[in-house]
Amino acid sequence: MARFNVPHLWNPCLFHKVLNINSSGNLKTIEYLKLRLDTLTKKISFVFQTSMEELSKEGMSLDSKLHFLVDDGAAGSFPQAAQQKVDTALQRIHLLFQDETEAPLAELERGLRAWTRSHLQTEDIAQVAALATRAREAFSVLVIIGVGGSDLSARVFHDSFNHPYHNLLSVEERGGAPEVYFTGDTFDPRKLAGLLEMLKARNLLDKTLFNVISKSGTTTETMATLMVIRDALDDVNWQQQVLATTGLTADSVLFRMHEQSPFYGDTLLPVPDGVGGRFSAFSPVGLFFLAMTAGKNETPDTRIRAAVEGVNQAHEGFNLAYNHRDNIAYQLARWIHLSEEVVSGQQSAVSEEAVSGQRSTEPRRGGMFIGERCPEDHSLNIVFYNYADGSCLGEWFVQLYTESIQERGGGANVINAKGPTSNHSILNGIIAGPRDKAVLFIHWEELGSDLVLPKETGMDSKLTEFEGLSMTHMQAASYRGTALDFSEKGIPNATLTLPKRDIQSVCQLMRLLMDTIAVKGRLQGLHLDNNGGSELTYLQEGVEGYKRNFRSFALTPGVDSE
């Protein structure tokens, strides 16, 4: 049974229309009205309980769009001059991205933007589907070895689409999918030792496929793990249990190993040229995992098609006019950029006043403008508040944002929060701590199969009030209550609302967030003054120092005892 959420009453965009309030208007009123209507909606939602089949028979469907709604009433509307400046920049940026639509792939590869075409690489996609279909027959367990962009998208897919207790189900219940484990993101031996011990004890080691993923093919956490696994396999044919996904260049150790003695299926899956790790979800990096773990009533093909469809939707949205309401990437980048403006402006004004002991008569300073850097300003913290349980999406976004946008001493920090879990930890700091945060809620209208709080429990009346309500409804109420509280307390917040937690919506969201990063990077001028080098958005030079120091410490005897 699907719960029909009465989209007309719940859909914030329609509320906008109905009440004819423009986007800079005060949305508190709307939130209050929405809350009042909650009770009504609860009742109606039960009246409308029906099956998906019935819905489609009647030609009715849920509003399947991804929406973006900003509540900027609390922060005060953004300064007009700043808005105009950002809009002019967005218009220019849009023209640059539009030019790219006709460009040959090689040009996108050079600009490290080939990820925008991952969903169109039919050869890669066919190779992934064929290999996954074969490997599902041959192996009972899949272990992903990788870190950062090389494992986070698979972790998101696992959390979002596979059964929460996937590994405990029988192979039939999993629809033929293998058990799944992740490793290679740390030197901490505990979990890797435990994994190998468990696979050996259950006689599964020989039936395990290890998908080692590394674009560079040199990342030490990943490669050290592979060395330990090679040793555990203890077989001359160990490479037939390893599938490598890597850049097709001799710089990659994995590429060189494959040249000498081929990995599983005589195949090397590519991390394609011009696709950085954190942008690789829809290349073979993420798609192979998605296909391998296709569950009941799914196949590798149907899963990949759903992902491609979602990415395509985002891709089309990105090509709309920059100020079109369905071009969410531009709106989101605009909101983040203007929120930085408000936070850095407020903070610097406060500190100037504190130093002089007098109220400043100077107009408040602007924060980061296009291509400028204000190192003394406090920067914004974006709280990525995902209202879905157990999803790695926040971790994925943290890497995507901070490796791309925190450059030249600027760029917002991202805090990963989970609703409602973080309501009982991080939330207090958002309300009562420094006013340096803007909250981006990810709200899901349908979470999947639902549970209803039982009736006639005979429990305390504080609890019986909730009897008969669904958990999805409670989750939505928690999100709405939190968002309203933030608005009332002046915490800037915005919401991305997804119709469903399914492959299409999640992949659409992920691609939309990648596009947001692309726009935000250009708003910060990360494509300018690079001395002919690549756009900083797609580099992460910051991590190189760690790697160098790690190597010399690791190779220095006795360092542990110093």
Q: Which residues bind ligand F6P (CB under 6 A)?
A: 147-150, 214-216, 219, 222, 277-278, 403, 540, 543
Per the CB < 8 A criterion, the answer to whether 514 and 397 are in contact is no
Residue 118 beta carbon to ligand F6P: minimum distance, rounded to whole angstroms: 15
Cα–Cα dist 250/398, whole Å: 30
Q: Are 507 and 306 in contact (CB under 8 A)?
A: yes
User: Which is nearer to ligand F6P, 374 or 414 (by Cβ)?
Assistant: 414
End-to-end CA distance of the chain: 62
Query: In the complex, what is the shortest distance from the CB of residue 164 to ligand F6P, in angstroms, rounded to a whole number?
Result: 26
Please identify, using beta-carbon distances, which residue of 70 and 128 lies nearer to ligand F6P. Answer: 128
Pairing of strands 67-71, 493-500: antiparallel
Nearer to ligand F6P, 338 or 393 (CB): 393
CB of 522 to ligand F6P, least distance (A): 20
DSSP 341-365: HHHHHHHHHHHHHHHHSS---SPPP
C-alpha–C-alpha distance, residues 255 and 520, integer Å: 34
CB of 154 to ligand F6P, least distance (A): 12
Instruction: Give the whole-angstrom CA distance, residue 242 versus residue 230.
Output: 9
Q: How far is CA 561 from CA 187, 189, 549, in A?
A: 17, 19, 17
- Measured from the CB atom, is 284 or 492 closer to ligand F6P? 284
Q: Token match 């990820």: residue? A: 115
DSSP at 452: B
CB of 253 to ligand F6P, least distance (A): 10
Q: Closest approach of Cβ 105 to ligand F6P, in Å?
A: 21
User: How far is it, in rounded angstroms, from Cα 435 to Cα 491?
Assistant: 8
Helices (H) and strands (E) in the chain, counts: 20, 10
The secondary structure element, H or E, covering residue 195 is helix 189-201
User: How far, in Å, CA of 134 to CA of 492, rounded?
Assistant: 49
Residues 18, 21, 22, 25, CA torsion sign: negative
Work out how close the CB of 538 gets to ligand F6P at its nearest, in angstroms, rounded to a whole number. Answer: 10
**221 vs 502 by CB, closer to ligand F6P:** 221
Task: Please identify, using beta-carbon distances, which residue of 247 and 317 lies nearer to ligand F6P.
Answer: 247
For the bound state, the minimum distance from the C-beta of residue 280 to ligand F6P, rounded and expressed in Å, comes to 8
Phi (first) and psi of residue 425, to 5 degrees: -145, -75
Instruction: Tell me the closest approach of the beta carbon of residue 529 to ligand F6P, in angstroms.
Output: 22
Q: Which residues contact 517 (CB under 8 A, 6 or more apart)?
A: 333, 400, 401, 404, 405, 537
* E-only strand ranges, 267-308: 268-270
- Residue 244's DSSP bridge partners are 212, 268
Judged by beta carbon, residue 83 or residue 216, the one nearer ligand F6P is 216
Measured in whole angstroms, how far is the alpha carbon of residue 121 from the centre of its chain?
A: 22
> How far apart are CB 513 and ligand F6P at their closest, in Å?
16
Query: Nearer Cβ to ligand F6P, position 223 or 453?
Result: 223
* Closest CB 142 distance from ligand F6P, rounded Å: 18
| Comparison of 376 and 544: residue with beta carbon closer to ligand F6P | 544
Alpha carbon distance 335, 440 (integer Å): 10
Beta carbon of residue 395, minimum distance to ligand F6P (angstroms, whole number): 12
Q: Which is nearer to ligand F6P, 165 or 546 (CB)?
A: 546
Q: Which residues contact 383 (CB under 8 A, 6 or more apart)?
A: 414, 415, 417, 426, 430, 437, 438, 439, 440
Helix, strand, or coil (residue 131): helix
- C-beta of 222 vs 391, nearer to ligand F6P: 222
Cβ proximity to ligand F6P: between 402 and 493 the closer is 402
Cβ of residue 399: shortest distance to ligand F6P, in angstroms? 7
What are the backbone dihedrals phi and psi of residue 36, each rounded to the nearest 5 degrees, phi first? -60, -40
- For residue 285, give both structure tokens: 């990096």
| Token duo for residue 76 | 């005060």
What span, in angstroms and rounded, lies between the C-alpha atoms of 264 and 389?
35
Q: Measured from the CB of residue 146, what is the shortest distance to ligand F6P in angstroms?
A: 6
Judged by CB, which is closer to ligand F6P: 149, or 345?
149
- Give the span between the Cα atoms of 141 and 272, in whole angstroms: 26
Identify the bridge partners of residue 418 per DSSP, sorted by sequence position.
386
Nearer Cβ to ligand F6P (402/470): 402
